[in-house]
Structures are given as structure tokens and as C-alpha cells.
Amino acid sequence: MLNTLVIKYAAPCNLNCSYCYEYNHGDDTWKSKPKKISLDVIEEIAKKTRNYLASKKSLIFNIVAHGGEPLLLTPKYLQETYEIFQSYLKNFNVNYSMQTNATLINKEYCEIFKKYNIRLGISLDGDKGANEFRVDHKGNNTFERAVKGISILKNNNCMKNISGILSVINPNSNPKDVLDTFIETEIKMVDFLLPFLTHDSLDSTLRDNIKSRTYDWLNVIYNLWINNKKYHSLKIRIFEDALQSTLTLKPKTDWFSQKSLNYLVIESDGKIDLLDHLKVIGEKSSLFRSTDLNIKENELGTVIKISEEFINKLKIYEIPDDCKGCKWESICGGGYAPHRFSNANDFNNKSFYCDINFSLLENANIYINQNKKFLKQFLS
């Protein structure tokens, strides 16, 4: 069921991370979009969300400010967007969150985060070395600027607004230094993302090299995390999702294959986009995610119905042939959609990171079997 809107507050970004699927994988749709979302589009989103939630009173709904970088909007303008949402949605269960690179945070933004209880996901890949791909438009590493943003949050009593770090794995980095950096920043949750690759990215030698080094890197992180009390204050989503999915026998997130569409992306011109992360595929991705729908003209109920039909036709959520009979088929489901893509078979491939998914679920299973007694209390 639709429970999340990801809204492109700003089409551009003040950074230019070399791996970014928005700008550096061949899809240039952002260039034709308004640089910032208009207040008219925000009002249409708020109205249509109110209409959608009117028949689903108990639904917990998420409104995510995304980009580009949402903090390219001035504090005054940002505040106006939340005032509009509040005026339409104050009687519903709506959570506000934002994905930001943290480099533009200042005191004024902190007041807005607190006032509207906005939860922040911060993009950071670890220590300075690990952030070698998180660069500005001149190619400078942005680690210090992001850490400064986190300290501004700390000094303005906003640490409770941080929901976690979104961190793209850099297999060149030292896993221990990455974990130590997150512990030092006092962040409580990190969501590691596998490098954005499909079966056709780069040349096959380079691709396979990244994959095998990512596999080793994650194994080191897992062992550090499991065996050192020092790291137990840090929730690591990829491992916790694997544990929870294995424990409940249901995929918890789209990290393992998603089964239905629960979110929509709204571009800065109001156009509805599906599965934003498919931009990893490049130019061809518009075939799999672009719709002719616009929030200005369509109600969310209609949009989700048409979008689901569209996605089902593309068979994005079907188990790939290669995965049928795999021990972890029902949980992994073939893996995250972009990692399954190839020009030859579209999404009918097992994940490029199949070995990693398999190992995550195996490790989770071993852990569960070793700690059955302890875990039973969470199930009873």
C-alpha cells in the first residue's frame, strides 16, 4: 500500500558525487526540471495526500524531502513548504523526513527540523578516505563539511532528529575506520548501500573486482559489529534487515526484492516518477519509471493504481528464473531491482550481488540458530 512520497525539493545538488545515480549514470532528466519545487506543487501534493488519507485514517504516511539537495531551498522557503503540509495534514499520521548531504546545515535549518519534527537521513560514506567519491563540483572531498553539519545539529539540540546515515560502501576504505567514524559522530544507525552497479556497468573485470572487494569489506564489518561491544550501539540496517527477514521469513525492505509499490517519487514539476533508484540503469531507465501522470491532475489513489499496473507489466517484482529453487528465494526474491538489470534480460536476472545477499542471509541464519533463546523473547 502506498505509504510514502519522495519529493524532489530541488533538482540540482551542491555536490557531484561520482557514483550518484541522479547525475552520473547517464539519466539527465533532472536538467529539464525546475531547480526548486514550487509552492503550488507542494500545495497540490498536500491536497492529494489529504484526499488519499481521508479514507485511510490510521495509515502512517511518510513525506520525504529529497533531491538533489533539499537544503538548496532557503530556510524561509523550506519553512513555507512545511506550513502548507501542516495546514492540510495536521489531523493525519504524517512523518516528515529529509535526505541531505548535511553540508549546508545551519542554525536556521535546525529550528525548522525541530519545529516540524523532521527526521534526517545524512549521506556520508565513513572517514575522509571513504568519502573520496563524495565530492563537490570542483572535485573536493566534502567529508569535513558534512561532519561540520552534524556538529551544528549537535550544538543545536538536533541529534534526535537524525534517523541515520546513508552510506555507499567504498571497498577501497578501511572498514574499521568507517565504523569508528560513525561511532565518533554519535550516530545510532547506518544503512550501507552496495555500490550502484547493474550486470552491464563498467567492464566485467572492474565490475567483478568491485563485487569481490565489497563482499570482503562487508564480511569484515559484520565480524567487527558482531564481536565488539564497542560497535553494539550502532544499528546496521543491512544486517538487521537480514536478521529480521530471516526470522520472520518475509523480506523487510526493497534491499531484498520488493513485492509491491509502497512509494512514489514526485519530481520538482509535479510529475510522478516510479522507482527512482532505477536511474542507475542510465538513459533507458525512463522506460521503467517515467509516467505521464502529474500530481497537479491526478489523485494519489488513481496514480498508485496505474503505477502498479505499469510495474506489473514490466515484471520488475517477479522472481528471476535464475533464482527459482534458491534456498533464499522467498526472502531475497532476486535482490534489489537495479542490481538485477541487464540490457539482455531486463530484470530477469539474479542480483549482480547474489553472493552477498546469500551470505547475508546465511550469516543471519547462523546467528539466529546460535541465539535462539535470546531472540525468542522478541518473537513471543
Contact footprint for ligand SF4 (CB under 6 A) = 323, 326, 328-329, 332, 334-335, 350-351, 354, 357-358
Least distance CB 334 / ligand SF4 (angstroms)? 5
Least distance CB 170 / ligand SF4 (angstroms)? 23
Closest among 267, 276, 290, 281 to 344, alpha carbons compared: 281
Least distance CB 244 / ligand SF4 (angstroms)? 17
Comparison of 9 and 341: residue with beta carbon closer to ligand SF4 = 341
Instruction: Give the SS3 label for residue 5.
Output: strand
Comparison of 286 and 359: residue with beta carbon closer to ligand SF4 = 359
What distance lies between CA 336 and its chain's CA centroid? 12
Instruction: Give the SS3 label for residue 266.
Output: strand
Comparison of 70 and 338: residue with beta carbon closer to ligand SF4 = 338
HSE, side-chain direction, 13 A CA sphere, residue 105: 31
Comparison of 134 and 350: residue with beta carbon closer to ligand SF4 = 350
Least distance CB 174 / ligand SF4 (angstroms)? 28
Q: How many CB atoms lie within 10 A of CB 347?
A: 22
Closest among 116, 174, 122, 112 to 147, alpha carbons compared: 122
Comparison of 250 and 305: residue with beta carbon closer to ligand SF4 = 250
The span from the CA of 331 to the CA of 105, in Å, is 38
Instruction: Give the SS3 label for residue 269.
Output: coil
The span from the CA of 197 to the CA of 338, in Å, is 7
Comparison of 110 and 326: residue with beta carbon closer to ligand SF4 = 326
What distance lies between CA 155 and its chain's CA centroid? 27
**For the CA atoms of the chain, what is the radius of gyration?**
20
Least distance CB 336 / ligand SF4 (angstroms)? 9
Least distance CB 363 / ligand SF4 (angstroms)? 13
Least distance CB 195 / ligand SF4 (angstroms)? 16
Q: Name, in order, each residue with C-beta under 8 angstroms of 225's C-beta and a sequence gap of 6 or more.
A: 179, 231, 232, 234, 236, 239
H runs (alpha helix) in the chain: 39-54, 75-89, 107-115, 143-155, 175-184, 204-227, 237-248, 286-289, 300-314, 329-332, 337-340, 354-370, 372-379
Comparison of 36 and 350: residue with beta carbon closer to ligand SF4 = 350
Comparison of 160 and 327: residue with beta carbon closer to ligand SF4 = 327
Comparison of 105 and 364: residue with beta carbon closer to ligand SF4 = 364
Least distance CB 197 / ligand SF4 (angstroms)? 14
Q: Which residues are bridge partners to 6 per DSSP?
A: 64, 265
Least distance CB 323 / ligand SF4 (angstroms)? 3
Least distance CB 275 / ligand SF4 (angstroms)? 18
Contact criterion met (CB below 8 Å) for 6 and 276: yes
CA distances from 127 to 146, 149, 174, 183, 216 (A): 11, 15, 9, 11, 18
Closest among 218, 208, 207, 209 to 168, alpha carbons compared: 218
Comparison of 80 and 329: residue with beta carbon closer to ligand SF4 = 329
